[in-house]
Structure 1
Amino acid sequence: MTEGTAVAGRYVLLDRVGTGGMGAVWRARDVRAAPGQDGVVAVKVLGGHDASMLLRFVREQSVRIRHPHVVAPTGWAAEDHQVVLAMDLVRGGSVADLLLETGALPASYAAVLLDQLLQALTAVHAAGVVHRDVKPANLLLEPGSPYLRLGDFGVAVAVDDIRLTRDRGVVGTDGYLAPEVLAGAPPEPRHDLYAVGVVASQLLTGRPPRPGVRPLVPEGPLRPWAEALTEPDPDLRPPSAAIALERLRRIEVPPDLPWPTVPDRVGDPPRPTGPRWPVVVSAASLVVIVGCLVAIGLMLT
């Protein structure tokens, strides 16, 4: 696909802003947007046609959780071999991008991000969905102050849908998987909470997890809370995201500045380029233009 491509007569691709596990991510304009809206969205373009990828794509577009800290699909379109999934355009990149630039984050900043992540998971779990791939790359940020949005529901499952939980092999990302997931346990919300504990460790240390190794959390007010999330026995973890959030908010985390500022990593779409003058000028028009220039020259002499 190239800039200017219109998919299904609805989404006009403006510029490529990233790459996901299922294909390219483009900034696009929804020509069917409501009056008064600019219609700019992010669209994920399906990168292949095999059955498993198509299943993931359809599964993701079926997740429609409305929450300020969730980036869920808002629509989709297909035309011939082109299939796209539309969602809000989040302009600040991901937590993974931020960690690459800053390393370990201040504990008070990390606490805000974790609070927002648990708000998102509370809504996701209340909808009967397990995300199954909570990690910094899927935690998107708005520019400026910390504002996190959970995205990428490509491997999410509805816990009461037997058909969608029969995946072959382990689903998720090494290092963020709870021990029981590796042992073949069916999806359930506490698997996401284990991943939150791993993310907490990564935010506070700046170091990615090691597969098969329980993450270490540095000394500080968040340590007992984060370690409870990564308990190998799921029964010892908080029973829900809502309770984990409640316990987090009881912790007094002293302010430790400065906080990093999230930049706008997307920017404005490129402006159309082209010649300032018409490429083709008729002979008659050329005569008129030359005549006018001569007349102006004579008046000035």
Structure 2
Amino acid sequence: MTRDHPADFEEIARRFSHLWQALNEGSPGTRKILVDRVRDALDRGEARLRDADCDIVANSFVLEALINDGAATRVYRARHRDLGTFHAIKMPRPDHADDPVLRKLMLREAEIGMGLRHSHIAATQTVLRLSDGRPALVTEWIGSRLAELLQQRPLSLGEITSVMTSVLSGLEAIHAAGFVHCDLSPLNLLADGDLSRLKIADFGIALKRGSRHSQFDLAFAGQPDFASPEQLAGEPLDERSDLYAAGLLLSLLLSRCHEESDGTKTLKALTNHLSQQDVQDRPENARAALHLLGGSPKRPVDA
């Protein structure tokens, strides 16, 4: 029987008729199983037609939008096909699939992220292995970055206090686990509307306390505008390096605030304390910085 034989089409029609009958008359459980099988069969057929990156990862996540196209990695907004939940998926670019340093850093990032659970830290949920061997990090999806909000409107004093409370609380948990984030900036602070629930993301260059980036064959890692003097110099880092970045962040936030009050003066004093050039002149840790922030008058976060 050849592929073009009429009997082939009759057999296809017969099977389709049986499938359609089962979908319409079967129990809800049977329909669910059949729909999943049809969907998977269509996915496999569609994948054979594509020569670009596959739009479906691990047969579970649909890559819906490219969020960040970096020099070595890409970040996508993804939807879980069965649960309907949204996630962020970070993976090496195809041309970096064989980069051993990047692979090591991403697996290490996953290990660090999955060991941290805190209301002000973006959750790392799992690690996938793509068909070509690349690792893919799955994290919770949070739609907006603080950097985008700062371009849209000024902040109130209450909002600034909420941001810094969130940041220092998250840093306290990171430091308690023995790590230094090393990349604190508005690009890595995520929030969906409520700044009191802001979360720290991206542990790609985090270090164990007392380590330096040269141990991972990185001449420099981080964003120069927020890096501490010791980070720029390639020295071993501790939690006070993150506090320096927090001070620069607070300074940036205050530049977006038009209010002048005793609270503003208190926050400016905290900025100076956090961003001292000499590491010995900064607060001892995030908890100490939170205590200093607690002396600032708080206002309700604007709606």
TM-score of the pair, normalised by structure 1 = 0.71
Displacement of 1:77: 0.8
Are the structure 2 counterparts of residues 219 and 28 from structure 1 closer, same or farther at C-alpha, using a change threshold of 3 Å? Answer: closer
Q: Does 1:232 align with 2:273?
A: no
Corresponding residue of 2:148: 97
Corresponding residue of 2:208: 158
Q: Are the equivalent residues in 1 in contact too, given 2:210–2:238 (CA < 8 A)?
A: no
Displacement of 1:17: 3.8
Identity of aligned pairs, percent?
A: 28
- Structure 1: distance between partners of 2:57 and 2:76: 12
Q: Which runs of 5+ in 2 are unaligned?
A: 1-50, 258-262
Are the structure 2 counterparts of residues 38 and 164 from structure 1 closer, same or farther at C-alpha, using a change threshold of 3 Å? Answer: farther
- Structure 2: distance between partners of 1:25 and 1:115: 27
Corresponding residue of 2:163: 113
- Structure 2: distance between partners of 1:20 and 1:130: 23
Q: Does 1:67 align with 2:118?
A: yes
In structure 2, which of residues 168, 175, 178 is the aligned counterpart of residue 128 of structure 1? 178
In the alignment of these two chains, the number of paired residues is 242
Displacement of 1:19: 4.0
- Structure 2: distance between partners of 1:110 and 1:23: 31
Q: Are the equivalent residues in 2 in contact too, given 1:106–1:256 (CA < 8 A)?
A: no
- Structure 2: distance between partners of 1:241 and 1:68: 16
Corresponding residue of 1:26: 76
- Structure 1: distance between partners of 2:121 and 2:300: 27
SS of residue in 2 equivalent to 1:220: helix
Displacement of 1:174: 0.9
User: What do residues 25-75 of structure 1 show as CA deviations (whole Å, max 9, x unaligned)?
Assistant: 2222346x8xxx544322113222222322221121111210111013211
- Structure 2: distance between partners of 1:141 and 1:108: 16
Corresponding residue of 2:102: 53
Q: RMSD across aligned C-alpha pairs, in angstroms?
A: 2.8
Are the structure 2 counterparts of residues 202 and 120 from structure 1 closer, same or farther at C-alpha, using a change threshold of 3 Å? Answer: same
Q: Does 1:246 align with 2:296?
A: no
User: What do residues 79-101 of structure 1 show as CA deviations (whole Å, max 9, x unaligned)?
Assistant: 2324321000102x111101111
TM-score of the pair, normalised by structure 2 = 0.71
Displacement of 1:161: 6.6
- Structure 1: distance between partners of 2:63 and 2:182: 30
Q: Are the equivalent residues in 1 in contact too, given 2:157–2:264 (CA < 8 A)?
A: no
- Structure 1: distance between partners of 2:292 and 2:71: 33
Question: Which protein has the bigger helix share?
Answer: 2
Q: Does 1:15 align with 2:65?
A: yes
Between 22-31 and 191-200, the greater mean CA deviation after superposition: 22-31
Q: Are the equivalent residues in 2 in contact too, given 1:3–1:15 (CA < 8 A)?
A: no
- Structure 2: distance between partners of 1:174 and 1:155: 13
Corresponding residue of 1:87: 139
Q: RCO higher in 1 or 2 (8 Å CA, sep ≥ 6)?
A: 1
Corresponding residue of 2:90: 44
